[in-house]
Structure 1
Amino acid sequence: MQELEFVQLNDDWSAEPNAPLVAVVFEGNAANLSFLLNPWQRKADFREEATVRFSNCSRWNWDATNDHAWFAGEGRYAKQAPKWGEFYEVVGEDILGGNIDWEIIAADTVNARHFLFYFRAETLEFIASGWSMSTKTIH
């Protein structure tokens, strides 16, 4: 098994643990991942929504691996990723993103990176050149 590094990208925020209302919308070569933030982990309003924008997104995958499966040792990174429910960049792969059934949008860019986000009921992965985050309170 190859040794991977999981760089946690969410320091003081995470998704709402029970009902994050995950959605993905594409705009050109960008993927916008929206979800409710966890108001108990950071100074966030209840119903504050985050949008993580993946620039130059070339591939993505929405997997049904949930928290129960992950803790049971199932899923691609269940025995490697440090913690469930976090946002990571996966570093050190022989094949960027591994061999799974990706939804392909475009060819990978030279500076493509692998992003992994564990939500309560699903796992999302993106191959993209970078990411940024914005927030807003929804009513």
Structure 2
Amino acid sequence: MNPTFEQINKGWNAEPNAPEPKVEISGSDVLLTFYVNAFQFKEFEEDESGILRFVGCERYRLGPTNDEGWYRGQCRFSKLAPKWGEFYIVSGDNALLYIPGDWNILRPSSGVGKHFLFYFRDNTFECVAKQCAVEKTANNSLQRTGFAGR
């Protein structure tokens, strides 16, 4: 059975040209910071950042594949994910989860973590965590979107 993809970034997205994603470890959580798309979503201003907190992170990676590789079928989800450049929860068959060799393991698998997948222009962020939440800081533009996390 193929994995299923639920898009969870409704009304917002990463900057399409240079989102510059950065990962920071905070205890058992991972923070993902990136520039938001002010071209498509007018509630954002250029150079504003979004910050997502992945609570109870088991593993994460920020690396290949980029958009060109995805369209050429070089990504393990190229023919499965609905489209490039979105933020998904991947569920179902997780046989493809462990294929990349560049995972950063923070703790043993609990078997209950959600698989989050975010395609940026030049790389891909993946994380297995209990939940994803919008980080509550003054400089987080995602707080204006109504996205509460998953």
TM-score (norm 1): 0.90
1:30 corresponds in structure 2 to: 29
1:123 corresponds in structure 2 to: 124
Alignment of 1:16-95 (within 5 A): 16-42=15-41, 43-95=43-95
SS at match of 2:23: strand
Residue 32 of structure 2 aligns with an amino acid whose one-letter code is L
1:14 corresponds in structure 2 to: 13
Gaps of 5+ in 2: 143-150
Point out the more displaced range, 94-103 or 114-123: 94-103
TM-score (norm 2): 0.84
Point out the more displaced range, 117-126 or 104-113: 104-113
Gaps of 5+ in 1: none
Residue 29 of structure 1 aligns with an amino acid whose one-letter code is S
- Hey, what's the Cα distance between the residues in 2 that align with 1:83 and 1:133? 23
Q: Contact 2:114 / 2:128 at 8 angstroms: preserved in 1? A: yes
The structure in which a higher percent of residues are strand is 1
- Hey, what's the Cα distance between the residues in 2 that align with 1:116 and 1:91? 11
Q: Contact 2:59 / 2:129 at 8 angstroms: preserved in 1? A: yes
2:145 corresponds in structure 1 to: none
Could you say what the CA RMSD is over the residues aligned between the two structures, in angstroms? Answer: 1.7
Aligned length: 136
Q: Contact 1:12 / 1:41 at 8 angstroms: preserved in 2? A: no
Residue 48 of structure 2 aligns with an amino acid whose one-letter code is E
Identity of aligned residues (%): 38
- Hey, what's the Cα distance between the residues in 1 that align with 2:94 and 2:5? 14
Q: Contact 1:109 / 1:129 at 8 angstroms: preserved in 2? A: no
